[in-house]
Structure 1
């Protein structure tokens, strides 16, 4: 397996509570953060994960910040818990990352996506397409059009990614 930096030209790290995600990160040469209190559930240390991600970004150009809580809530079949997990992720991770990255005074991109679908009604992983959003600080500062971030909005969109490598290439494309 080629090193991430060799394949994409940037180094970086992984922040996750999930051993599989951390192991893949190690295998491809990414720095793997050890976050105290990272549990993979709603009681995870969101703030610590964000701080580790920002620390990695001060030294590197890429970080994968993985949050498992919405997936775990789906496995339990608990709709309210999944909504809470998504709200926590939005406020405690995405919001804080955007606030802090804006202060870096550098251009940045954020890819937001689930790693797979896990419908609450089924409680298991499924193979449906998943929504994704890429925020680019150079082009989205004054964007007026906001679309929903859900499966329905993703289906209505015109962009389709079949191969995940295409998505990574899109995220890491050279600056214009």
Structure 2
């Protein structure tokens, strides 16, 4: 209400009204709060880390726990994002950081649009240009790594909205040679014997602070 009293009679809004336009005469704050007190990533896990993302929410989460935010040219958070660049920057970041979080928004956006062709394209691009480039870079550098690959939630084509169904994940260790693994798809969620009910256990599993 106070913002209305101040803005409604502002010269810009008076001019907009004279021109038959809607005035911008009220401020609505969304999600206002104070930063939660969360220990930094290095304090909790003892290693430095970085995050690569185009989505502000992910960047903010990274900054909140002290991860270095790495900006990739051409990263858009959409189907036209720079997949190859994300893979290249992630592989290079491992020269400096022991942990790198790579987020790709494109499959989620395709799900919201209920566009199956775009979703298939986004997943294929992630597989080839993000994951493939990271694996190639790791091989060139001779690093031993563990990779956790997973979506943060489903966004089914049928609904175009987020759902709360369980999601599949892959935990890869370059020092091990696994055989007979399940396909990485939604059906695997119901077929696997490895079920993690508490998502907070995934990071310790990845970093080997608890057994996987």
TM range (shorter): over 0.9
Consecutive unaligned residues of structure 1, counting only runs of 5 or more, are none
Matched residue, 2:31: none
Corresponding residue SS for 1:134: strand
d(CA) in 1 for partners of 2:102, 2:89: 9
* Deviation of the 1:174 alpha carbon: 5.1
- CA RMSD in angstroms comes to 1.5
d(CA) in 1 for partners of 2:197, 2:140: 34
d(CA) in 2 for partners of 1:164, 1:7: 16
d(CA) in 1 for partners of 2:42, 2:157: 36
d(CA) in 1 for partners of 2:128, 2:171: 17
Is the aligned partner of 1:11 residue 2:61? no
Work out which of the residue numbers 116, 130, 133 in structure 2 matches 1:96: 133
Tell me, yes or no, if the aligned pair for 2:169 and 2:184 is still in contact at 8 Å: yes
Q: TM-score, normalised by structure 2?
A: 0.79
Matched residue, 1:167: 202
Matched residue, 1:130: 167
* Deviation of the 1:34 alpha carbon: 1.2
Question: What is the aligned length?
Answer: 174
Q: TM-score, normalised by structure 1?
A: 0.94
Consecutive unaligned residues of structure 2, counting only runs of 5 or more, are 1-37
- Larger of the two Rg values belongs to structure: 2
CA distances 1:39-85 after superposition (whole Å, capped 9, x unpaired): 01121011221222122210010000100000000000011111111
Tell me, yes or no, if the aligned pair for 2:114 and 2:157 is still in contact at 8 Å: yes
CA distances 1:92-142 after superposition (whole Å, capped 9, x unpaired): 1111111111222121011100011111101011110000001100113xx
d(CA) in 1 for partners of 2:170, 2:109: 22
